[in-house]
């Protein structure tokens, strides 16, 4: 019986060594622990968080020190290196990013909206796949994250390409509808508060001038993290749209910067915005 505590300690030590030795296992363990805190709020103080613990400012420092100025490719690589080797980051990442950029390039997209700037990685990814002259508007509700994003985006040479808008989407709907270049958005990337996915997408569809329909030229909506952390309301709404409203493709993939943990991404083309809003 005396050996039981010793054996338990040895097992814990072995697990700790494995987690430390294999970066993907470390990131997976971190993500799992963060999900526990998210799912059971009373336990949250005892578990790591998805964001807001200083990793964002540290990521900006890392990008600025590891990528030369005005080099978008290097800035993307530096951010990914930080998320791979230093601290897990709540950004779409290169695996799911490839799904999003492929959808964007199929449009093509000259006017792009992102919901959820975070540190600016998504905006950089969108810019890297956009044609010359494209304009990107990205909305972020947390001022500290918007400031981090601006640092990174300016360093990456995107000061004139990306506009970071602070505050909830609803406060920017009128200005976005009037934003140059004229016309609706070609592409919308949704990756912010999961509870805000559905109301914000509905607000975009309901605001004249922001979204257009059409089998070939309709606005494309890319939505991240439908599997984890998940947005059940958004998934149910997308699946319940009647034919002729949205053309949606589902992509089974993995969580950002972690291999082996499943996630789900959707890519929808708006065929008829009014029909998409209809609940009949």
- Which structural domain, as residue segments, surrounds residue 41? 7-46
pLDDT of residue 1: 44
pLDDT value at 79 more than 90? yes
- Provide the pLDDT for residue 129: 97
Residue 151 and residue 35 share a domain: no
Secondary element (H or E) of residue 250: strand 246-254
Reported as a single tens digit per residue, the pLDDT across 90-140 is: 999 999 999 999 999 998 899 999 999 999 999 999 999 999 999 999 999
Sorted by sequence, the CB contacts under 8 Å of residue 183 that are 6+ apart come out as 111, 209, 212
The predicted pLDDT at position 117 comes to: 98
Residues 231, 172, single domain; the answer is yes
32 token code pair: 């799992």
Q: How would residue 181 be classed by pLDDT, with cut points 50, 70 and 90?
A: low
Domain membership flag for residue 136: yes
Q: How much is the pLDDT for 179?
A: 72
Q: How far is CA 39 from the centre of its chain?
A: 20
* Residue at 60 is within a domain: no
pLDDT digit string, tens, across residues 1-33: 456 666 755 565 555 545 555 677 678 777 777
> Backbone phi, then psi, for 198, in 5-degree steps?
-70, -50
* Same-domain pairing of 125 and 227: yes
Any domain includes 229: yes
Could you give the percent of the chain with pLDDT greater than 70? 91
Q: Give the predicted TM-score (pTM) of the model.
A: 0.90
Q: Are the C-beta atoms of 245 and 278 separated by less than 8 Å?
A: yes
Query: Are 197 and 104 part of one and the same domain?
Result: yes
| Residue 126, domain CATH | 3.40.50.150
Residue pair 75/63 in contact (Cβ under 8 Å)? The answer is yes
Domain total in the chain:
2
Which pLDDT does position 137 carry in this prediction? 96
Distance CA 107, CA 238 (A): 20
């Amino acid at each position: 019986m005396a050996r039981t505590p010793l054996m338990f300690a040895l097992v814990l030590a072995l697990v700790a060594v494995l987690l430390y030795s294999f970066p993907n296992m470390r990131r997976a363990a971190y993500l799992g622990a963060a999900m526990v805190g998210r799912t059971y709020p009373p336990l949250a103080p005892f578990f790591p968080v998805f964001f807001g613990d200083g990793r964002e400012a540290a990521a900006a420092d890392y990008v600025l020190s590891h990528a030369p100025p005005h080099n978008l490719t290097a800035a993307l690589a530096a951010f990914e290196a930080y998320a791979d080797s230093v601290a897990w980051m709540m950004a779409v990442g290169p695996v799911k990013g490839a799904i999003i950029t492929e959808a964007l390039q199929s449009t093509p997209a000259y006017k792009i909206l992102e919901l959820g700037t975070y540190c600016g990685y998504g905006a950089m990814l969108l810019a890297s796949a956009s044609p010359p002259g494209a304009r990107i508007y990205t909305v972020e509700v947390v001022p500290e994250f918007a400031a981090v994003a601006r640092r990174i985006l300016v360093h990456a040479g995107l000061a004139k390409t990306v506009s970071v808008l602070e505050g909830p989407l609803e406060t920017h709907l009128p200005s976005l509808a009037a934003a140059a270049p004229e016309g609706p958005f070609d592409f919308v990337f949704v990756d912010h508060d999961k509870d805000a996915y559905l109301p914000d997408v509905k607000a975009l569809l309901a605001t004249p001038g922001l979204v257009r329909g059409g089998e070939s030229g309709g606005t494309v909506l890319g939505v991240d993290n439908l599997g984890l952390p998940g947005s059940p309301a958004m998934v149910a709404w997308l699946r319940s749209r009647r034919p002729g409203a949205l053309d949606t493709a589902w992509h089974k993939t993995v969580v950002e910067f972690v291999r082996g943990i499943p996630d789900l991404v959707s890519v929808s083309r708006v065929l008829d915005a009014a029909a998409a809003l209809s609940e009949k």
